[in-house]
Structure 1
């Protein structure tokens, strides 16, 4: 919907004018501006301009006249109209040949026709045409917005867009996934996304600005397999949400109307993605809260709970392992960069996003369902189990996750507690408590960054149980207090010396090497232990009492 040269030539004011070249282009050449230009042209003429001239300054100088016409051609003007009869009596044949060669519409206007009247009438027509274009673009904008408000998708948006601009359209989201396609060449998309081999060349931005429309400054042009297509980013609140790709037959199709429609379509796409993200965020929160309550609260797995889970996409009728992970930030903080975005190590939301993404990916790779939630620095995962040993399943799953996580989140150390599926009405809560206990014991016994299985913690759980007895606590204190006082006073570590000695089953040489001590220094420490506790390290009962006391003391110290 643009004003063509034919529309202007048919105006009453142009009745006595004569088209000297380009009659076959009158309908296809558009007019957006009109002006009066004389020598020199310089940069005063715009693309798609209707240029009026008297030829003043070129009279009798055909070479200068040819240069003037050449400059008009270079400017991208649609029409050059000469007023003949005073400075130019006849348009030279060489000028007509030049205009024909470069597809410039050349018009001859009688001297008696006033430029002012032509300017006034054509400007009125341009104004009416622009008004019509603006109204049509506004109608398209309303159609696109209604499309989003009435719960329609990106395919509907692309269909509306294609109907009005008649160009192949594709919409991709921020991850590069194709979300809508209306007659866009799929092979070009595959090469552009890196799914197929091929060269993708971006045309420099300085060569892309074909119009004064502000949208051109955001547009990127690509060349793939000798095909040119354009990309416009879909942005909301300075965040890139995806891209709109379009493939015009030629650049002449990128009219002001088309650019306005594309601008409105970007708004509609951004609105759709905002709405989609809000729905996804709500769903994520519902799922997180459901799994968190399932784990931490003493919730009975009833028919009603199973039905609620199904609405969220979960199947509680299946057996699940429980993995509880604790994330500890390393002292040396690093910056995470993913897909061009910089994430500080303190960004809880970003950290959980990438962790959730890897958990989902690992579950799909192993063809197992997962249910995940977060509680500050704790991640809770229920992983679908089968007849395979649960340790093997858990290790395979965590290996799959950590392989990538330690690249993405290199500043975080993960410690895990793992429990097998529990039967009964409180299966999820019970398996969570066991995994949590395994995590706690693992941190006490092994330190950070380890995996601890609940089934391997029987001795520690036994010690935890008996440590609650007051009589036991008194015995531990009476046995170890002399060693603790001595270590504090002399800055030694007799308790650690005993732990290593006991680890090597009383082998003095191996213990001395492990502690990097001279043999005589170790023997001196061992004699001090016996003297302070009144226990013999060669008596099995005394040795058992001392070992039990040290274990219970360590359990209490790190709990």
Structure 2
């Protein structure tokens, strides 16, 4: 950040100075500092410096003066000014020629012009230029922030960067999805993201350490050119990347500062976007939980509120409630590796939500999803005549992908379809909850229970509230239950399997992996302990009823 030499030479203090090199060089050199350096030069001169000298150490040795000028040029100075009239009377031609070859501005300054006055005016001019640059860059920073606060997006930020720096720039999110691109070479992005074949290598970014002190920055070299990548961070969390290409000039202070401000504006944009997303998720969660748990009338107001959230309540839906069980290993794996979830849900539910969305898209059905106390609630678009088939197809897709992703996950499902009408969602939710509850009473985890399949169990549950019925169940099964607990004989399970196979001994024995005689021995024990005959239809009905009531109510 400095002045061009053509602005320096126009200062009043240098009106008497004589330019010994072409005026065309003046616009090519930038002056960031001015100093008085005599021989030896060593490492006292820095980049883009205007060096003043009286030549006092070389007044009788032209070759020494030439070496001095060569050392200043090699140090990266932009201009040299020799005071003539005391120690040097004319600048030697070899020095003039060398300055021309290296595009260095060379001035001859009359002895009476004091170096102190020159330095004062030049430094004052540079300081004023710096203040102007700072005001200019600060205005761009405020413009970028205003873009975000006024609801504009990343396109406006990249447009401002390109407008004021001419640097091609692109912005991607933390998943490397390009969100905005202003003249940046798309091939380089695709190669970095491994979407396209191509070689590149990472190299150190050495022009300035300023940006590196504040933001992680990488430099990549491609066959197509070079680009740089700044990581966008917020609260120490990676939000995305800002990519910019190399241009045909060194990056200036204002270039790098504008890029820094662009990173800050992008971080603010992503934080705002995440906050909006989390607010939307909370609104959707609360809406769906109220829809399921409250007996709200399905009127125009509710339908319109749903439409604003992206839901269509006028379609028929099946209600599906899933009880999700993760092994401890899976919980540990998710907690340790899943750091990229930009939603208000727990990280382990993110996987379930993703696969539910994928499955619904695969079968081209609308879906509404939320979570409640470790359970997932899904309203899936379905037709009355085929909702079971649709539900099975949907759950097959969900479970297959989840089992591939997370070995050991177990989900049990309760399902209901209540058709259309007032209170449909609340009624469907209650029925699906009932189906899930009955499933847990009778099955191991991992089942699918439809509410329509619970008619007998609901009837039995109603009967079980009668004390006389409970006494009858106790009298029928007490000896059998006590024997199972003492001997671990599993006679109750044996009877349930025997009943499932319609009293077929051969099929029951195969299903239980028992010898036929062993099964017959167990069946005789059941008859002995209950006092009932498995060949008598009334006795068999009483035993079946008692076992089913006991299984239904034991938990």
Cα distance 1:218–1:200, how it changes in 2: closer, same or farther (>3 A)?
farther
- Cα distance in 2 for partners of 1:91, 1:173 equals 58
The CA deviation at 1:213 is 5.1
Cα distance 1:264–1:525, how it changes in 2: closer, same or farther (>3 A)?
same
Q: State whether structure 2 residue 119 is matched by structure 1 residue 125.
A: no
Per-residue Cα deviation, 1:410-446 (whole angstroms, up to 9, x for no partner): 5643222222352331211222222222322333433
Tell me, what secondary structure is at the counterpart of 2:398?
helix
Cα distance 1:525–1:79, how it changes in 2: closer, same or farther (>3 A)?
same
Per-residue Cα deviation, 1:37-75 (whole angstroms, up to 9, x for no partner): 456656554433333455677788888877766665555
Q: State whether structure 2 residue 356 is matched by structure 1 residue 351.
A: no
- Cα distance in 2 for partners of 1:501, 1:71 equals 102
**Contact preservation (8 Å) 1:200, 1:222:** no
Q: State whether structure 2 residue 543 is matched by structure 1 residue 546.
A: yes
User: Partner of 1:153 in structure 2?
Assistant: 153
Cα distance 1:95–1:336, how it changes in 2: closer, same or farther (>3 A)?
farther
State which of 238, 263, 267 in structure 1 corresponds to 2:264: 267
User: Partner of 1:78 in structure 2?
Assistant: 78
User: Partner of 1:30 in structure 2?
Assistant: 30
Cα distance 1:367–1:176, how it changes in 2: closer, same or farther (>3 A)?
farther
Of 94-103 and 232-241, more deviation after overlay is shown by 94-103
Alignment of 1:82-481 (within 5 A): 82-83=82-83, 98-109=98-109, 113-195=113-195, 197-199=196-198, 201-204=200-203, 206-210=204-208, 212=210, 218-252=216-250, 254-336=251-333, 341-342=338-339, 349-386=346-383, 389-406=386-403, 408-410=405-407, 412-481=409-478
TM-score (norm 1): 0.85
Q: State whether structure 2 residue 516 is matched by structure 1 residue 496.
A: no
- Cα distance in 1 for partners of 2:70, 2:449 equals 82
Query: For the aligned residues, what is the CA RMSD?
Result: 3.6
Cα distance 1:65–1:443, how it changes in 2: closer, same or farther (>3 A)?
farther
Tell me, what secondary structure is at the counterpart of 1:175?
coil
Tell me, what secondary structure is at the counterpart of 1:250?
coil
- Cα distance in 1 for partners of 2:68, 2:337 equals 50
**Contact preservation (8 Å) 2:225, 2:246:** no
- How many correspondences in the alignment? 553
**Contact preservation (8 Å) 1:504, 1:510:** yes
**Contact preservation (8 Å) 1:373, 1:380:** yes
- Cα distance in 2 for partners of 1:135, 1:462 equals 80
The CA deviation at 1:322 is 1.6
- Cα distance in 1 for partners of 2:295, 2:287 equals 13
Cα distance 1:68–1:384, how it changes in 2: closer, same or farther (>3 A)?
farther
- Cα distance in 2 for partners of 1:458, 1:74 equals 94
Unmatched tracts of structure 1, length 5 or more: none
**Contact preservation (8 Å) 2:441, 2:553:** no
- Cα distance in 2 for partners of 1:411, 1:63 equals 84
**Contact preservation (8 Å) 1:22, 1:106:** no
- Cα distance in 2 for partners of 1:483, 1:230 equals 77
- Cα distance in 1 for partners of 2:111, 2:292 equals 91
- Cα distance in 1 for partners of 2:82, 2:227 equals 38
Unmatched tracts of structure 2, length 5 or more: none
**Contact preservation (8 Å) 1:209, 1:217:** no
The CA deviation at 1:207 is 3.0
- Cα distance in 1 for partners of 2:384, 2:519 equals 50
- Cα distance in 2 for partners of 1:483, 1:354 equals 45
The CA deviation at 1:513 is 6.2
Of 369-378 and 266-275, more deviation after overlay is shown by 266-275
**Contact preservation (8 Å) 2:200, 2:223:** no
**Contact preservation (8 Å) 1:322, 1:420:** yes
Cα distance 1:212–1:528, how it changes in 2: closer, same or farther (>3 A)?
closer
Of 71-80 and 61-70, more deviation after overlay is shown by 61-70
- Cα distance in 2 for partners of 1:326, 1:61 equals 93
Cα distance 1:524–1:369, how it changes in 2: closer, same or farther (>3 A)?
closer
Per-residue Cα deviation, 1:215-248 (whole angstroms, up to 9, x for no partner): 6753333334422233322222112222233335
